[in-house]
Amino acid sequence: MSIALRLKVMSFLQYFIWGSWLVTLGSYMINTLHFTGANVGMVYSSKGIAAIIMPGIMGIIADKWLRAERAYMLCHLVCAGVLFMRHP
């Protein structure tokens, strides 16, 4: 399997999974966790803040210490580990 095809499959799966839970996250937080509307807004805005800050930080890390594909792999492994640890 070529690297281009592997990246396409990985990106599809990443955004497929992200889109499946992101849509229902707000109603889950309000109905199950009893968050207020302001709390839900803060959770959703934290994703935007991270999207602004993290590319610069990861760019520095990828340029100085890691190759880009290793940094990409590390990000996915860290996210998978956090999701795995948060699952009851």
pLDDT one-digit tens code per residue, 49-74:
888 988 888 888 888 888 878 888 88
Alpha helices in 1-88 (DSSP H): 3-31, 37-64, 68-86
Taking CB atoms within 8 Å and a gap of at least 24, the contacts of 33-36 are none
pLDDT of residue 32: 93
Whether residue 45 has pLDDT greater than 80: yes
- Residue ranges per domain, the chain? 3-86
Of the two residues 86 and 35, the one the predictor is more confident about is: 35
Asked if residue 12 lies in contact with residue 30, where contact means CB atoms within 8 angstroms, the answer is no
Q: How much is the CA Rg of the chain, to the nearest whole Å?
A: 16
